[in-house]
Structure 1
Amino acid sequence: MPKSVSESGKTVDPSRNEGAYWAIMLLANFRRIGTKWQVKNIPSWPSGAPSRREFLRQKLTSIVAIYIILDVLSSGPPPDANVVGIRNQVLLLRIPELTSDELIFRVIAVTVYWINTYLFNLFMIEVASFVSVLTGITTPDQCRPLYGPIKEAWSIRQFWGTSWHQMFRRGIQGISDLANDAFFIPRGTLLSRYFRLTVSFAISGLIHFSADMSMRIPLAEAGSMAFFLAQPLGIMIEDAVQHVYKKQGIKFLRGYEHILGYVWLIAFQLWITPTWFYPPIRHMNPEKDGLLPFSLVSAIFS
């Protein structure tokens, strides 16, 4: 490729510039979209990538809508500290004393928390995608949807591996593979499979644990590691159950297996999720630790 001359009169090597561009893009392209390293289960555009103009219109509409929804969901008063106390985080050993009020609150709180988390992650990616396409850094086809289909979340494994975002999967998977090989665990074995799975969730736990520390949550109360390390345990349980009933030749009517899976996933997350998000609720300062920089709801109704 011939070299060209820039406006300053200096010689420029286009191949070097192109290489630098793709190196930077690869660092920013967490899911490695469009490369041979593309992460599994990245959703595609249902009817093909939209035009640049349509993409920007969709993203701008989505950004405004998500901001309003997040604002509404986070504008309510915080719950009483006793309701989200340390004792109420755990559930398994307290089932006999569980009241209907606590159960209703737990269901509502966990549901709202996951909706908030889902939308906040989506909001950040929508803003980044809008800016990158607007400035010409990327094309709409490079900005695939963040989440997979919710209907595919019929198990804990499916939820994390297909329906949830895969932004950090490639990096975390690389570290877990390195740890596996460092311990000389043979690839393809059951031990290797669950070791890498556990290491992956442990890394996720450490990432979120740093967020706990930034919110000044006491070390003894931070629940991120407990939450994320419970996920591989749940996956091992569901794998074992599936193995047993398939080995026994048990067959479910079409769709019933997935219905049972949805129930299992919901029950599992209702059990463990408060361990993760009750501590931030107890220690957050609504005025300083708000989810959004500016509340439209508060401005309108104050």
Structure 2
Amino acid sequence: MAQEYVSLYRQTLAERQQRYDAAIASGQYTPFLYPWDTLPALYLLFGIAVAPRFRPGLAKAVRYGCFLLVVLHFAYIGSQHRTLSFASGYMMGISGAWAVIMSAALLVFNDVAKDFTRIETRPIEPAGDASHPNGVVAVSGSDFASPIDLTKRKVPAVFTSKDKKQLGSQGGEQPATRPYKLVWQGYPYDSDWLHIIDWAADLITNFRGVNWKHRIQTAGEVDAPISPNHGNQISSAREEAVSGPPAVPEQTLRSLQYRTLQNFITTYLVLDLLKTTMMTDPYFLGLEPLDSPTQWPWLFRLNQHVPVATSLARLLTSMVAVITALTFVFGLSPLFFAVILPCFMDVSSITKSPLLEPWMYPPQWYPLGRTVLQSGLAGFWGKFWHQMFRFGISEPSRVIIEGLDLNQRGNAARATQVLIGFLLSGLIHAAGSYTSFSLKPSHPISGPLVFFFSQGVGVLLQQFLAKILRICIPQTKSLPPLARQLAKLVFVVLYLYFTGPLLADDFARCGVWLFEPFPISPLRGLGFGPGGKDEGWFAWYQEGSKWVGWWQGDHWWQSGLAIY
């Protein structure tokens, strides 16, 4: 009987699986264990939800203690555990490093009880306005929520009771949620524990702070013009101004849901195309260097005329794959909270976060051409690229700048902010490189750490060169905008081309592109891809692989549900 053909992709997966099984069997590593390896999330939740209820001195000690536990626990996980799940273990290191940085931002560099305020919903009854003179409702002394004037909103994400008659006459649009108002809410001292946990969990998971006072600038403005600072006078007076009751219109919600589903399907198909294509190139399997000959005929012929074509194509493919994968992951939040969850319940009944407001889901990416042409490398990283880590990695530099009393608009503060931010980004990805399990050794320091730090250097270098040119060659000031934009574009392309391999090569070595993002592959089911044994519609099957199982360690705290 003829032996079935096994593609190089499946051979690579099988060899990596055998080495992983041997490392686990020998005791060199243990798999990721649930629930013990998820405890750092509970440390952080405790520091945010419970610490503010203690006296100030003790609260600070509790916050710092929780941060220390997060650091120590993730250091243990990174040194002892490995998994083939989570993109070959790469995401285990990234999530751990990010948790440490975010914990520092929330517990060390800020006071939870004073520095964080979020926008929340409050259910109200339209008929209740008549029982309160002048449209003002007295609140209890424990309610420190500050109101938001919804009659001045810039975007028609919600409409008030005054709008309902008009909308009804034009098309009979009905609200998709019960009427509510929006308020600014600090730590909810006298609320029930469900409210406190809701508030704390939102703070932990809301990386960009889309409905918080620390909402990052690239997320745009909140569709409510009053800042939390402007509500202090009302809070001290223990009163809330009441506007007409708003609700998310059915049409607005349907538009958000349609856009979310469209993005989900599009990114799914593009990712499947990228995965099916990349698995046929030994470079993306971590087996060959960047400039090795390609097996794609069209690229092989092009490379004979343009020697950098293969390297450039692989770098561009890596970048597009990262962007598409992150877009897919980021899109899971609106998919769950705005599409799936509303089918089963009223979202406002389980959380006070305004999850159905469209401004809760600002764009993750900005137009590449516009940002690069306007701001060069700084625009590429500062606006076009996703800003999920922006708040956490900017807090250390903010504390240093304030501690040294530097001019926030000066060169020293700017350099501090840029270099520290990119250094922390490098450490996050270096941790992912370190915890990955791959056939070839990864290079956490000389790969991602050097790459991201070099981007900070490049941002400052481009600004320095532009300044020198304006001084030494005054004629450059009179150049047409198109010429200046072209110069910025050339700098960015060349800089990323020469530094990009530091990160792209490490991604390939770590086995990031061996990860199967979806259980069903339409393209492979239709016969595309490398073909051979184990190829077909169901992509998650790999002979000899094991996903989960019970792990029995020497002690009870070393036993749990293993994620291999």
Scaled by the length of structure 2, what TM-score is found?
Answer: 0.45
Cα 1:41–1:282, aligned 2, differ >3 Å: closer, same or farther? closer
More deviation in 77-86 or 167-176?
77-86
Letter in 1 for 2:207: F
Q: Whole-Å Cα distance in 1 between the matches of residues 309 and 315 of structure 2?
A: 10
Q: Secondary structure at the match of 1:31?
A: coil
Is contact 2:448–2:506 with CA below 8 Å preserved after alignment? Answer: no
Work out whether 1:167 is the aligned partner of 2:388. Answer: yes
Residue in 2 that maps onto 1:235: 459
Q: Whole-Å Cα distance in 1 between the matches of residues 428 and 219 of structure 2?
A: 22
Residue in 1 that maps onto 2:487: 260
Residue in 2 that maps onto 1:142: 360
More deviation in 31-40 or 268-277?
31-40
1:36-62 deviations in whole A, cap 9, x for unaligned? 3221122579xxx97111111111111
Q: How many residues align?
A: 277
Equivalent residue for 1:36, pick from 189, 213, 237:
213
Equivalent residue for 1:133, pick from 315, 338, 353:
338
Cα 1:100–1:173, aligned 2, differ >3 Å: closer, same or farther? farther
Work out whether 1:65 is the aligned partner of 2:266. Answer: yes
Letter in 1 for 2:209: R
Residue in 2 that maps onto 1:25: 202
Equivalent residue for 1:295, pick from 503, 507, 521:
521
Is contact 2:291–2:311 with CA below 8 Å preserved after alignment? Answer: no
Work out whether 1:224 is the aligned partner of 2:448. Answer: yes
1:99-146 deviations in whole A, cap 9, x for unaligned? 866510111111111111111111111111211223236122211111
In structure 1, list runs of 5 or more residues that go unmatched. 4-12, 87-97
RMSD over aligned Cα atoms: 3.0
Matches within 5 A, 1:44-59: 51-59=252-260
Is contact 2:393–2:424 with CA below 8 Å preserved after alignment? Answer: yes
Equivalent residue for 2:431, pick from 197, 202, 210:
210
Q: Whole-Å Cα distance in 1 between the matches of residues 305 and 401 of structure 2?
A: 45
Is contact 2:377–2:492 with CA below 8 Å preserved after alignment? Answer: yes
**Deviation at 1:196?**
2.3
Letter in 1 for 2:406: P
Q: Whole-Å Cα distance in 2 between the matches of residues 20 and 279 of structure 1?
A: 39
Matches within 5 A, 1:84-103: 84=290, 102-103=307-308
Q: Secondary structure at the match of 1:255?
A: helix
Quick one: percent identity of the two aligned structures?
18
Equivalent residue for 1:109, pick from 308, 314, 329:
314
More deviation in 15-24 or 219-228?
15-24
Residue in 1 that maps onto 2:116: none
Q: Whole-Å Cα distance in 2 between the matches of residues 207 and 179 of structure 1?
A: 20
More deviation in 199-208 or 173-182?
173-182
Work out whether 1:153 is the aligned partner of 2:372. Answer: yes
Is contact 1:198–1:232 with CA below 8 Å preserved after alignment? Answer: yes
Letter in 2 for 1:258: Q
Cα 1:283–1:161, aligned 2, differ >3 Å: closer, same or farther? closer
1:76-103 deviations in whole A, cap 9, x for unaligned? 21235444279xxxxxxxxxxx986651
Letter in 1 for 2:486: I
Letter in 2 for 1:156: L
**Deviation at 1:149?**
2.1
More deviation in 71-80 or 269-278?
71-80
Q: Secondary structure at the match of 1:51?
A: helix
Cα 1:254–1:193, aligned 2, differ >3 Å: closer, same or farther? closer
More deviation in 115-124 or 136-145?
136-145
Q: Whole-Å Cα distance in 2 between the matches of residues 219 and 16 of structure 1?
A: 45
Residue in 2 that maps onto 1:121: 326
Residue in 1 that maps onto 2:86: none
Is contact 1:205–1:228 with CA below 8 Å preserved after alignment? Answer: yes
Q: Whole-Å Cα distance in 2 between the matches of residues 145 and 285 of structure 1?
A: 25
Q: Whole-Å Cα distance in 1 between the matches of residues 435 and 359 of structure 2?
A: 35
Q: Secondary structure at the match of 1:147?
A: coil
Cα 1:133–1:285, aligned 2, differ >3 Å: closer, same or farther? closer
1:168-221 deviations in whole A, cap 9, x for unaligned? 111110022234556x47343422321221111111111111221232363547
Is contact 1:70–1:116 with CA below 8 Å preserved after alignment? Answer: yes
Is contact 1:42–1:148 with CA below 8 Å preserved after alignment? Answer: no
1:153-173 deviations in whole A, cap 9, x for unaligned? 231101111111111111110
Letter in 2 for 1:53: R
Work out whether 1:278 is the aligned partner of 2:505. Answer: yes
| Bigger strand fraction | 2
Q: Which has the larger radius of gyration?
A: 2
